[in-house]
């Protein structure tokens, strides 16, 4: 991505964006603060950067999108992050959600299945300043067993069911947040791993995500 200037005008637009997200019901000030602190235009193709602070999703190439800021805030708030949490993100995409997480958690491990997007993020100078953010190329359905267990797992694409390997990689009392269901609309779901090994599922609002695909794309 082209890292253009982040100026006073951008900050004013971010403040308006945050106020709009707050008005939609997001109350976690740490989440809102992370969104205010993150220059979204840097994560978008140059022709779309002027629209960066519209509360909309936009294409970023490879059939993927940068999520609507409200959706990012909604998923992040559901994670109930602590500053000590180790978080696995499935679907790095533009890297925007990963940077929000990195401002709120101890460590973030973000996986991308598309090699072009992974390479783009590896060379993204802004991401390198987040030393607690670790990027991986791989199949999100498999997770990262070598880095497990995780306190929280966030999936940024729609699955038909919660991938079993991800549930295996949760700590006891850990949570996974993901959109479940078929196109065009899914339910946002939060699953908590209980001490007895069972899982407790909560169902929230409707959203629309690109599908979660298996395997890696070189």
pLDDT 10s digits, 88-123: 999 999 999 999 999 999 999 999 999 999 999 999
CA distance linking residue 51 with residue 49, whole number of Å: 5
Domain 8-207 matching CATH 3.40.50.150: the answer reads yes
CA distance linking residue 159 with residue 156, whole number of Å: 9
Residues composing the chain: 218
Stated pTM of the model = 0.96
Identify the residue with better confidence: 159 or 182. 159
What is the average per-residue pLDDT within 139-146?
A: 98
Phi-psi region of 95 (alpha: psi -120 to 50; beta: other; left: phi over 0): left
Cis peptide before 184 (omega within 30 of 0): yes
pLDDT at 84 over 60: yes
Task: Evaluate whether 56 touches 68 at the Cβ level (below 8 Å).
Answer: yes
CA distance readout (Å), 107 to 81, 148, 198: 11, 12, 26
* Catalytic annotation, pick one of 67, 94, 123, 208: 67
pLDDT at 1 over 60: no
CA distance linking residue 216 with residue 213, whole number of Å: 9
**Confidence category of residue 76, pLDDT binned at 50, 70, 90:** very high
What is the average per-residue pLDDT within 205-215?
A: 93
Q: Is 67 a catalytic residue?
A: yes
Identify the residue with better confidence: 61 or 87. 87
pLDDT at 66 over 60: yes
What is the domain partition of the chain in residue ranges? 8-207
Q: Which positions ≥6 away from 166 have C-beta within 8 Å?
A: 88, 90, 141, 143, 153, 155, 176
H or E segment and range at residue 54? none
Q: In 73-198, where do the E strands start and end?
A: 86-90, 107-112, 133-137, 150-155, 170-180, 186-193
CA dihedral 69, 37, 22, 82 (to 10 degrees): 90
What is the average per-residue pLDDT within 190-214?
A: 96
């Amino acid at each position: 991505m082209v890292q253009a200037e982040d100026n006073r005008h951008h900050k004013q637009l971010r403040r308006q964006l945050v106020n709009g997200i707050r008005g939609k019901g997001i109350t976690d000030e740490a989440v809102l603060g992370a969104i205010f602190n993150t220059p979204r235009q840097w994560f978008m193709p140059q022709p779309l950067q002027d629209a960066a602070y519209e509360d909309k999703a936009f294409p970023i190439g490879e059939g993927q999108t940068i999520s609507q800021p409200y959706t990012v805030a909604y998923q992040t708030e559901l994670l109930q992050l602590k500053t000590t949490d180790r978080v696995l993100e499935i679907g790095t995409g533009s890297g925007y959600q990963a940077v929000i997480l990195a401002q709120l958690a101890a460590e973030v491990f973000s996986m991308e299945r598309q090699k072009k997007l992974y390479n783009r993020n590896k060379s993204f100078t802004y991401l390198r300043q987040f030393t607690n953010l670790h990027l991986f190329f791989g199949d999100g359905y498999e997770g990262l067993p070598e880095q497990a267990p995780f306190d929280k797992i966030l999936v940024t694409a729609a699955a038909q069911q919660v991938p079993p390997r991800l549930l295996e990689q949760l700590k006891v009392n850990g949570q996974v947040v993901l959109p479940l269901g078929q196109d065009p609309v899914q339910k946002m779901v939060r699953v908590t791993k209980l001490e007895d090994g069972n899982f407790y599922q909560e169902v929230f609002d409707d959203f629309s995500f690109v599908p979660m695909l298996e395997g890696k794309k070189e």
